[in-house]
Amino acid sequence: MATPPLTVAHLDEVGSTQDEARDRFDGSPVLVTARRQTAGRGRSGATWETADRAVAASLAFVPGWPAATLPRLTLVSGLAALDAVGDGADVLLKWPNDVVIPEGKAAGLLVETVDGVVVAGMGINLFWPEPPAGAAALFARDPGLEAAQSLAVRWAAGLLVRSAAGPDAWGREEYAARCATVGAEIAWEPQGRGTATGVASDGGLEVETEAGAVTLHSGAVRHVRAASGE
């Protein structure tokens, strides 16, 4: 299936690229990027700290998926992020909405739906000499503004291509193979502990617990972390 043309707006500073993309949407996909956000947000309303070189990007579009399948787009957004970054065994996905490298979290993803319009957001750290604990950046040297913007465009274009495949071909096996959470001992809020064993067809995280197998869904848990607390 052909993907519709993409309109791109590269801005210096906005309140939120999520809000800006939604406001600019007129029926065709629109990507908004910004070097800096003054009111950026992450999952569950968390704030996103800005690296020395980072890009915030939000894509507003209508994928044509049934409403019940839209949560899978968070995972699809992660796969598109790996596509944009390029091959690298050290760049992995943390279920459900992070891109991680050995040094820490390099990108966060957020998908919101309002009145049928999906806005997928990505905040990615490219260069950060002194990141806070748990955070990291992809490059040891500043790749520059143009490289940051180009990466965001690749991500958006890839997300449109992947979403065009439909909700049943979203990339479950590919995601599981690149997911750092699978195989790990994890804990989650409000109260849970077990071993992540796989990714379900609906995008849920399959976990084996002492009480038996369960499937976690991102809307039902507040936080998934390594059982060690790292």
Query: How far is the C-alpha of 225 from the C-alpha of 228, rounded, in Å?
Result: 8
Stated pTM of the model:
0.92
Domain segments of the chain as ranges = 7-175, 181-226
Q: Is the C-alpha dihedral spanning 79, 83, 85, 87 positive or negative?
A: positive
Q: Is the pLDDT of residue 41 over 70?
A: no
**Measured CA distances, 196 to 101, 171, 178, 210 (Å):** 19, 18, 13, 12
Is the model's pLDDT at 1 over the cut of 70?
no
pLDDT in tens, 92-149: 999 999 999 999 999 999 999 999 999 999 999 999 999 999 999 999 999 999 999 9
Q: Any idea which of 37-51, 124-138, 181-195 has the lowest mean pLDDT? A: 37-51
% of residues, the chain, pLDDT over 90:
81
What is the CATH class of 7-175? alpha beta
Q: Which CATH architecture has domain 181-226?
A: Roll (2.30)
